[in-house]
Structure 1
């Protein structure tokens, strides 16, 4: 019996849907970075070129797939494609590939994915890129873990999972 693939979008967003500013993260939450690593390890991670360049290197123990319109773009240890559809096709043998950003890719992917894993950072941030609004008529919250700020994580945050209705 064939296992159905679950295509998951994973993101960390501010209370005002802020994603980033100047091609960088606005906050530093070690717990979120660990959550991202634990969730995506062993899977394909699909991202736009800007997101890849903000990370700066291929992430270990994952198949890094970069979407770019530049036909000459090349990065060691990464798969380069030109469209989100091509990226998803590359990951067809992975039972749970992840869309990891940025804003353009999230906007293209949000209606294609089966699951959202969102870290809600409980603060409004000044940003130049934003996550698309999560339409509660399409998405049902199925899990939420709330955390208070501590010595390592400067802001209150929640790990929230949504499934398509």
Structure 2
């Protein structure tokens, strides 16, 4: 198989926050629908904390959990103990990397695309992700949405490696 396309999927607030404890400090149903549509049928690679934070298994997608704990296991999750091992298990033309911060950082050097939801808020949070380097990443699509009904404004942004 040729090199798979590795796609990072994440939502990040304007201040870099991507999480607080084991939750996300906002709720955007539109982002959840986009995430579902774009990851459907793709293997998803995630860290153990991200897997544990899910409401349950996400239908139509494989769950590959990257963990240092060689004994860890969960029903219907495939366990990987290295990036190379996770990619081998995924064995697909398009692979979704869905977090958390350590997993994003580990895959950033080999990622081909980033599907980013910019959430126009500055919430408190203990997990942050720095801005992506413009020298490496080129914005190829943007869809802006205004704040409404108590939800923050947000932008769906696609970044592609230059």
TM-score of the pair, normalised by structure 1: 0.93
1:31 equivalent in structure 2: 30
Preserved CA contact (<8 Å) 1:6 1:97: yes
Q: 1:67 maps to which residue?
A: 66
Match for residue 116 of structure 1? Answer: 114
Q: Which runs of 4+ in 1 moved over 6 A?
A: none
How far off its partner does 1:3 sit? 6.1
Which residue of structure 1 aligns with residue 142 of structure 2?
A: 144
- Structure 2 residue 154 is matched with structure 1 residue 157: yes
TM-score, scaled relative to structure 2: 0.95
Larger displacement relative to structure 2 (99-108 or 51-60): 51-60
Any conservation in 2 of the 1:6–1:96 contact (CA below 8 Å)? Answer: yes
What runs of 5+ residues in structure 1 fail to find an aligned partner?
A: none
1:106-155 Cα distance to aligned partner (Å, 9 max, x none): 1111111000000000111111001133000000000000111233x611
Q: Which residue in the other structure is 2:50 paired with?
A: 51
Q: CA deviation at 1:104?
A: 0.5
Aligned residues: 162
Quote the Cα distance in structure 2 between the aligned partners of 1:111 and 1:16: 22
Contact 1:106 1:132 in 2 (8 A): no
Instruction: Assess if the C-alpha contact under 8 Å between 1:107 and 1:132 holds in 2.
Output: no
Q: Which moved more, 1:43-52 or 1:142-151?
A: 142-151
Q: What runs of 5+ residues in structure 2 fail to find an aligned partner?
A: none
Change beyond 3 A, Cα 1:66–1:45: same
Match of 1:91 in 2: 90
Structure 1 vs Structure 2 CA RMSD: 1.4
Task: Measure, in 2, the Cα distance between the counterparts of 1:91 and 1:49.
Answer: 16
The Cα shift of 1:16 comes to: 1.0
CA distance, structure 1, for counterparts of residue 52 and residue 130 of structure 2: 22
Q: For residues 56 and 158 of structure 1, what CA distance do their matches in structure 2 show?
A: 24
Report SS of the residue matched to 1:163.
strand
